[in-house]
Amino acid sequence: MDPYKYRPASAFNSPFWTTNSGAPVWNNNSSLTVGSRGPILLEDYHLVEKLANFDRERIPERVVHARGASAKGFFEVTHDISNLTCADFLRSPGVQTPVIVRFSTVIHERGSPETLRDPRGFAVKFYTREGNFDLVGNNFPVFFIRDGMKFPDMVHALKPNPKTHIQEDWRIMDFFSHHPESLHMFTFLFDDIGVPADYRHMDGSGVNTYTLISKEGKAHYVKFHWKTTCGVKSLLEEEAVIVGGTNHSHATKDLTDSIAAGNYPEWKLFIQTIDPDYEDRFDFDPLDVTKTWPEDIIPLQPVGRMVLNKNIDNFFAENEQLAFCPSIVVPGIYYSDDKLLQTRIFSYSDTQRHRLGPNYLMLPPNAPKCAHHNNHHEGFMNFMHRDEEVNYFPSRYDPVRHAERFPNPPGVLTGRREKVVIEKENNFKQPGERYRSMDPARQERFIKRMVGALSDPRVTHEVRSIWVSYWSQADKSLGQKLATRLNVKPSM
Ligand code: HEM
């Protein structure tokens, strides 16, 4: 091995303790003191280094999705969709691609219980031959808001009160009373699936609309969906209290244990597609992330399967330092003009440069597994080995050339500068349909949770009646039931 290309690892099985610079440590028990009881000498370099490293062990936790569990495995194409996309990893059935997945809760801290009512993150990194593709999704197919401008406020409202550090329903109900587009998301969050049994028993969704582009340059809007083969299971309130009270890491443990036992979790990947030439024919905007695409008119098409068959070796390296970003796509998969997605394209790598440093993409779980090259280098914690003399472009000395051009979405963009809400808001139809699709017992549990949140003593009469009026527009009988139980009349 070339000693100068050596990368630090603790896997070389040194027979004895060493300092970080490799010097032997002959005593890892006692500090270096003057006499047996004397003060400690600053020259005890090993002690100083040990404490200094310890003092810096924590990095900032993710601003959202701080609590998570990851695992590795593979994705395999089972159905040919090469007519829709030129993505190399989707080129034909049988093709396998390594993946790393991170499941998470959203709102609470790194060490919080995994039994709280909260959406779950479902982020998949595909290590393809044409670079990584990050499908950074959730377990619900829609989202609370449709414009990323509102995301920081939304997260502040959902996070604990800045004064008391307690999550409080009055703040949540207050914020969302301004956002009827959130109703659809609440029909998932306040449904039984708002507390998944664990990470294996939940579906996933890319949520935002992306674009698939074929070799010929034809674009299709696409939504991605993961369906668990383990079946969807949830915890009702009383069960969640017992499970969470017994082990606040139960979902991480379930994932780790089942993989260790050879009981590998598996999901099937499906897509729905819309030809952008016909995007206006719906009563909703297909790029509105608060909407699902009805499966009876836009059917699910099978694409592949994902199997998680390997636990991570180290939580810090492969979970804390793992970084996903919806902007990380491959040729054949592109963004759409979905406003929320457009904001996400900026936000993830921005936070990761802060959370992990500017060279976070060099960290082993984040780095592509294919050959990669550019001249963005140096900066803090750069550990890439480079021995080129030419670090500029273009150069007659550097043989590296542009990649072959790949197709972009062909649509033409025109319009005035605007700061407006989309035209087809249609905030009430889909939440009403979803509520009516639940059986009566499930509807009753949904109502109880909504009444519970709106019964916070600090929720004002005005906020309660706004919510009742929203739900009445989604479903008359739901509105009536809420009005009776909360003793309010709809306000509009
Ligand atoms: C404008 C809207 C959004 C913004 C600005 C935003 C921002 C962020 C940020 C800053 C992080 C932390 C990333 C890190 O530190 O590595 C994050 C994590 C995450 N977000 Fe979002 N987010 C948005 C909407 C969404 C939506 C709609 C979804 C679901 C499709 C989603 C899914 C996730 C997931 C799964 C993670 C955790 C990734 C991991 O496991 O490391 N986010 N988001």
Q: In Å, how far from its chain's centre is CA 49?
A: 36
Q: What per-residue confidence (pLDDT) applies to 385?
A: 86
Q: What per-residue confidence (pLDDT) applies to 6?
A: 64
Q: How far is the CA of 348 from the centre of ligand 1 (A)?
A: 7
Measured by CA distance, the residue closest to atom 25 of ligand 1 is 344
Taking only the tens place, the pLDDT of each residue in 158-208 is 999 999 999 999 999 999 999 999 999 999 999 999 999 999 999 999 999
45 close to ligand 1 (CB < 6 Angstrom): no
Q: What SS3 state is found at 225? A: strand
Give the range among 1-10, 226-235, 258-267, 431-440 with minimum mean pLDDT. Answer: 1-10
Cα dihedral sign, 327-137-271-285: negative
Give the range among 310-314, 410-414, 480-484 with minimum mean pLDDT. Answer: 410-414
Q: Which atom of ligand 1 is nearest to the CA of 102?
A: 40
Q: What per-residue confidence (pLDDT) applies to 268?
A: 99
94 backbone φψ class: left, alpha, beta (φ>0; ψ -120 to 50): left
79 close to ligand 1 (CB < 6 Angstrom): no
Q: What per-residue confidence (pLDDT) applies to 7?
A: 66
> Directed axis angle between helix 151-158 and helix 339-355, to 10°?
70
Cα dihedral sign, 381-384-390-396: negative
Is there a contact between 282 and 62 (Cβ–Cβ < 8 Å)? no
Counting Cβ atoms within 10 Å, is residue 410 exposed (0-12), middle (13-18) or buried (19+)?
A: exposed
Q: What per-residue confidence (pLDDT) applies to 383?
A: 87
> With 60 as the cut, is the pLDDT of residue 10 above it?
yes
Taking only the tens place, the pLDDT of each residue in 105-147 is 999 999 999 999 999 999 999 999 999 999 999 999 999 999 9
Phi, psi of 51 (to 5 degrees): -70, -40
> Directed axis angle between helix 461-474 and helix 429-437, to 10°?
80
Query: What is the average pLDDT across 56-77?
Result: 98
Q: What per-residue confidence (pLDDT) applies to 399?
A: 87
Q: What mean pLDDT value characterizes the chain?
A: 96
102 close to ligand 1 (CB < 6 Angstrom): yes
> With 60 as the cut, is the pLDDT of residue 96 above it?
yes
Q: What per-residue confidence (pLDDT) applies to 387?
A: 87
Q: What per-residue confidence (pLDDT) applies to 344?
A: 98
348 close to ligand 1 (CB < 6 Angstrom): yes
> With 70 as the cut, is the pLDDT of residue 1 above it?
no
Counting Cβ atoms within 10 Å, is residue 79 exposed (0-12), middle (13-18) or buried (19+)?
A: middle
Q: Determine whether the annotation assigns residue 470 to a binding site.
A: no
Q: How far is the CA of 173 from the centre of ligand 1 (A)?
A: 22
Query: What is the average pLDDT across 315-320?
Result: 98
For a mutational test of ligand 1's pocket, the pick from 62, 118, 125, 319, i.e. the residue with the most ligand atoms closer than 8 A to its C-beta, is: 62
344 close to ligand 1 (CB < 6 Angstrom): yes
Q: What per-residue confidence (pLDDT) applies to 492?
A: 56
> With 60 as the cut, is the pLDDT of residue 341 above it?
yes
Residue listed under structure tokens 């959370």: 355
137 close to ligand 1 (CB < 6 Angstrom): yes
For a mutational test of ligand 1's pocket, the pick from 142, 348, 353, i.e. the residue with the most ligand atoms closer than 8 A to its C-beta, is: 348
* pLDDT classification of 15: cutoffs 50, 70, 90: confident
Residues forming the active site: 65, 138
Q: Which atom of ligand 1 is nearest to the CA of 208?
A: 30
Residues 6+ apart with CB under 8 A from 486: 451, 454, 455, 464, 468
Q: How far is the CA of 64 from the centre of ligand 1 (A)?
A: 7
Q: Which atom of ligand 1 is nearest to the CA of 346?
A: 5
pTM beyond 0.85: yes
Taking only the tens place, the pLDDT of each residue in 27-60 is 999 999 999 999 999 999 999 999 999 999 999 9
Q: Which residue has the higher pLDDT, 22 or 273?
A: 273
Taking only the tens place, the pLDDT of each residue in 228-268 is 999 999 999 999 999 999 999 999 999 999 999 999 999 99
Residues 6+ apart with CB under 8 A from 468: 479, 482, 483, 486, 488, 489, 490, 491
Taking only the tens place, the pLDDT of each residue in 201-211 is 999 999 999 99
365 close to ligand 1 (CB < 6 Angstrom): no
Q: What per-residue confidence (pLDDT) applies to 49?
A: 97
